[in-house]
Every structure is written in C-alpha cells, then in structure tokens.
Structure 1
C-alpha cells in the first residue's frame, strides 16, 4: 500500500470515528470504537488525530473516563450557559455527600456517616442516584454485606473530568460549595481506591436477589 493510500485510509478512519462520536447522545467508549471501526484500527492514533483536528475549534473532543465526546470549548462555555435542571440543584447536604462518595469510593452508608459526622438525610442518596451521578457499585465483603456507592460516567461528563483521579483539591471543593465546616479534619482528598467501573478487592458484585431487593430489577410474571 502506498503512502497516499495509507494517508487516505487514516483519514477515512478519523472521519468514521468523528461520525460515531458526533451521532451519539452519550460518550462513546473505546470498546465501542473498536467494535465499529475496521479491525486492526489504531484507536489511540485515530482519536489523537481527531482531537488535534478540533483543537482550535468551538467544540473539542474530550476524554471522559474511557469514553470520548464532543464538548463546547472551555473559553466559549459562557455562550451555552443555561439553568440547571431541577434535579441537578442539590442541597448543601447532598453536595457534601456527593463529594465524599467521589473521593472515598467505594463507600458505604455507614462510612458516609462516619466521614461526614452526620447521618445522611433520608432520601439524600436516593436523590443522588436519580441524578445519575451516583450508582450502587456492589457489596462490601464484610459481615452484613453493606451496599457500596460510587460515581458514574455521567458524573465525569458533567464535571468535565477525564478520569476520577482528576478531581480538584480541597480549596477548589470549598470554593465550589461542595465542602463545609461540618466536614471533619480527617476528610481525605486522595484519589479514590477504585475506578468508577471496576470493583475493588473489597467488593463483590450484586446478584439477582440483590438487584430485586434494592429495587434495581423487577422480575417479570413467572420469573424468580
């Protein structure tokens, strides 16, 4: 294959990746790109070239965890400012719980209470689950098997984070109103011990009975 053919093939792959990301309402994962692009395509090189193409444009290709999406360039974000949906208007308590989950995931309800020093209000976790920023990860491998919570791909997307390790520092959190004086001094801002989509060694996956018990799955008639 000539250099010209190689270049044309590369451009074709970039155009295909561009179409896939542009047409998707959700960030497109690396796995999805691998499945949709021709076998053997160098996904990293394709994405790098596509990102460079949009580098100085009004929209840019951004990495969100292990997925990619087009987003408004940071310096033009003010043009697209809009009021947050009501479900995204979190109370101070919900913001603090969200911050703790983000920095301590995987975390249980009891651990949330211990870290914050105040028991989460009834419905706070339910509200965070409804926003799509928090999910039930699994169960802790300890007596009682308490449920563990963590953040989602939507959380990374909303806060423009490429990975959970890109979370801001303590002062930035305070400035954003995500921490208050009630957070104890031992509150940690170290990177979480687990990735958003991976269970840690301390966790076990949810089983069918767990899903039904937690209201995450309702068996159809005749199923059990």
Structure 2
C-alpha cells in the first residue's frame, strides 16, 4: 500500500470518527449502531469507531457509554454531583410505582397478575401508566397462557436514567432494600432472578400495535370492576 493510500485511509477514518462524534453530541437519547451506520457508508467499522471514541473520552468530563443497544455521551460519574441540579418532579413516583418498577426490572417479561402476586396487593392501571409515561416501562408482547395477558418490560430509557449498560448491571436485593425500592410488604425470601434481555421469550407472542387501544380499554374495564 502506498503512502498516499495510507493518508487517504487515515483521512476517511478521521472523518468517520468526527461524524459519529457529532451524531452522538447532537442526540439527547442513546443511538444504536444501526442508526449510525447509514451516515458512514458501506463497510464502516462502527463498533471499532465507537470503541476508539470511548477510549478517547475515558478520562474526560464526559464519557461515551453504552445503554442497552445504544451509545451516548454522559457526564463522568465522578463529576455528576457537581452538575446535578435540584429538580422538582410534578408527579413523583409513589411507593407502589417504585415497587412495580423494581419487580418489572427483575422479573421481566412479567404480567400485571404476576406483579400483583409478588407485591401481594392489586396494581392499579394508573401505576403502570405512570411508568410508561416516564418512558421506563413498555408493553412487550402477550403471554401464551389463557387470557393472553400482556407482558411488561423496561426500556433503554430506563437503563439510561439509572446509568446501566445492560440489565445484568442491576443492583442486588440488599442494595434495593437499602435504596428503599423494596418495602417490608414484599416477601422476605423474595428471590431476584436474572432478567430476560431478549426481544421476546419463547412463551411470548409479538404485540400488535393495533391492539394497544383495546388493551387500554380492557384495563379500564377491569379497574372499574375492581372499584365496584
């Protein structure tokens, strides 16, 4: 390979690095490799570029981190307390919402009935709605059991908010109790399994987006019956 070819290769690589860097800085949400690839052309080593950028920013005030299938620039963990601003939440999470979120995170994919079984009390539709409005929980699919109940799981926004690369980085049971995410109402011998990180499990079917409105109507009817 000639010196000219080497220079051209370095120039292409540098341009690709700059493009990816610009894309990441311009996005408030984590970006996946499949979203980055079209900006770089065929055959681009997206993973290699991300790894190189992550190494470059490793000791800086912002770090390139992975959040599920996405990548994003985030404030270095040791500097987060300096930049943290006091924010007033107009609708803070209730104890029920915190417990429900913890159960979904560790037991996903899980159904509303399974959440209620672990908590020992009924879970109102408003609790799940609140978690979905926050962008931390989503409907995954339908369980292949009688009644075809909807299953719930966490989102990449959940990973991003709590600073997790993957679900396997979730804290242990004692950490959850110390943070106040699990109350004494939950079983003392509650076991924390490894959450399922795939798209769908063998006992799940895809959720048809057209069914979401019907699911919400079903939940409304069910909740109304519980109050009667």
The TM-score, its normalising length taken from structure 1, stands at 0.89
1:213 aligns with 2:223: no
What is the rounded CA distance, in whole Å, between the counterparts of 1:110 and 1:12 in structure 2?
52
Tell me the CA shift for residue 40 of structure 1. 0.5
Q: State the Cα deviation string for residues 166-185 of structure 1 (Å, max 9, x = none).
A: 11111111122111211213
Unaligned residue ranges in structure 2 (runs of 5+): 218-228
Q: State the Cα deviation string for residues 111-145 of structure 1 (Å, max 9, x = none).
A: 00111222224521111111110111111111100
Are residues 107 and 87 of structure 1, via their aligned partners in 2, closer, same or farther at CA, if it must alter by over 3 Å? farther
SS of structure 2 residue aligned to 1:174: helix
1:106 aligns with 2:109: yes
Tell me the CA shift for residue 204 of structure 1. 0.8
What is the rounded CA distance, in whole Å, between the counterparts of 1:215 and 1:61 in structure 2?
38
What is the rounded CA distance, in whole Å, between the counterparts of 2:139 and 2:90 in structure 1?
19
Are residues 76 and 87 of structure 1, via their aligned partners in 2, closer, same or farther at CA, if it must alter by over 3 Å? same
Alignment partner, residue 141 of structure 2: 138
- What does residue range 68-87 of structure 1 map to in structure 2 within 5 Å? 68-84=71-87, 86=89
1:52 aligns with 2:58: no
Alignment partner, residue 154 of structure 1: 157
Alignment partner, residue 172 of structure 2: 169
1:34 aligns with 2:33: no
> Greater helix share, 1 or 2?
2
Are residues 87 and 138 of structure 1, via their aligned partners in 2, closer, same or farther at CA, if it must alter by over 3 Å? farther
Q: State the Cα deviation string for residues 195-217 of structure 1 (Å, max 9, x = none).
A: 3xx0111111122542231359x
Tell me the CA shift for residue 59 of structure 1. 0.7
The answer (yes or no) to whether the contact 1:87–1:131 under 8 Å persists in 2 is no
Q: Which runs of 4+ in 1 moved over 4 A?
A: none
1:22 aligns with 2:43: no
What do you get for the CA RMSD once the two structures are aligned? 1.8
Unaligned residue ranges in structure 1 (runs of 5+): 217-224
What is the rounded CA distance, in whole Å, between the counterparts of 1:93 and 1:39 in structure 2?
48
Alignment partner, residue 220 of structure 1: none
Are residues 208 and 63 of structure 1, via their aligned partners in 2, closer, same or farther at CA, if it must alter by over 3 Å? closer
The TM-score, its normalising length taken from structure 2, stands at 0.87
